[in-house]
Amino acid sequence: MTNAALAFVFPGQGSQKVGMLSEIAQEASEIQATFAEASEVLGYDLWDLCQNGEQEAINLTQRTQPLLLTSSVALYRLWRARGGALPARMAGHSLGEWSALVCSGVLAFRDAVHLVRERGRLMQEAVPVGTGAMAAVIGLEDGVVEAACASAADGEVVAAVNYNSPGQIVIAGNSAAVARAIEACKAAGAKKAMPLPVSAPFHTELMRPAAEKLAPQIEAAEFNAPDIPVVHNVHAEPESDPAAIKALMIEQIYRPVRWTACTKKIITDGATQLVECGPGKVLAGLTKRIDRSVTCHSIDNPGSFNEALRSTAV
């Protein structure tokens, strides 16, 4: 049954760590079965990489993206196998939007694994390592950060790219421009403005070449209307038309992630309980900054998984 007050959200890059899901996989065959399916597509053992690889290896974008997609889909499959309630709405942060599309029935898991591997590869290739950067800015209003980026650009690219929660924004662009923007944000009174350990300036115009190269593969894939509405990063609204969803997933690569707006949309539409379907608690933390009235659950270990099942049952 559908729980009208329940939303599922899916994390993006940054939530990965070696050994994740190991405890829950010991008691749930669905986890390793999903990883085995992804491994067939990828041509390498994704579960072994996840459990025994080096952190540097799983941080490579073209590996991180299929890894997180697979983790989220595995947990969602387990949720449904254990009788978990259907959510009434979904959203995913950046890469996590692909996880939401798979779990809402828009495209097949195997197709998504292939597409996000290519997405990661093309995004990394779009900007040579060292020439792009990202930084977190804490404690400034959106407009102040946007103005700081505009003043720091000086003919290069730097922009707000992740609107994560009120007072927490990520900026990205050319390395020198990001460095100038960091100083401008500090001068404007930011509590923190610091570089992030990321290898490419995601969700900027610098990613448009990657989007253009991936577009034919997305266009060729079979997309369906979603069984569960997915709120999209680009405009913080759901979309039911498969062709429009394809266009949004292409545009998403070089447009900002409007996560605060996505979360507010989910809540406005009736969500009072939120399950973070993937490793970690990043999105739960952001949700608390956006609206403290929402109850957040994580499901990446047996204890929290079973508690979420009980709390959201209908």
Answer yes or no: 39 catalytic. Answer: no
- pTM summary value: 0.96
pLDDT, residue 60, reads 83
Q: Where do the domains of the chain lie?
A: 2-126+206-312, 141-198
How many angstroms separate the CA atoms of 137 and 185, rounded?
7
Among 94, 104, 165, 298, the one annotated catalytic: 94
Q: How far is CA 20 from the centre of its chain?
A: 17
pLDDT, residue 171, reads 98
Contact (CB, 8 A) for 88 and 271: yes
pLDDT, residue 14, reads 84
Answer yes or no: 203 catalytic. Answer: yes
Among 39, 71, 93, 203, the one annotated catalytic: 203
pLDDT, residue 57, reads 86
pLDDT, residue 314, reads 87
From the candidate CATH numbers 3.40.366.10, 3.40.718.10, 3.40.50.300, 3.50.30.50, the one assigned to the domain spanning 2-126+206-312: 3.40.366.10
Per-residue confidence in pLDDT tens, the chain, 314 aa: 899 999 999 999 888 999 999 999 999 999 999 999 999 999 999 999 999 999 888 888 889 999 999 999 999 999 999 999 999 999 999 999 999 999 999 999 999 999 999 999 999 899 887 899 999 999 999 999 999 999 999 999 999 999 999 999 999 999 999 999 999 999 999 999 999 877 789 999 999 999 999 999 999 999 999 999 999 999 999 999 999 999 999 999 999 999 999 999 999 999 999 999 999 999 999 999 999 999 999 999 999 999 999 999 98
Question: 141-198 falls under which CATH superfamily?
Answer: Malonyl-CoA ACP transacylase, ACP-binding (3.30.70.250)
Torsion of CA 20, 299, 277, 288, to 10 degrees: -110
Contact (CB, 8 A) for 126 and 206: yes
pLDDT, residue 130, reads 82
User: Phi/psi at 3 (nearest 5 deg)?
Assistant: -95, 105
Check residue 257 and report its DSSP letter: B
pLDDT, residue 74, reads 98
Contact (CB, 8 A) for 171 and 181: yes
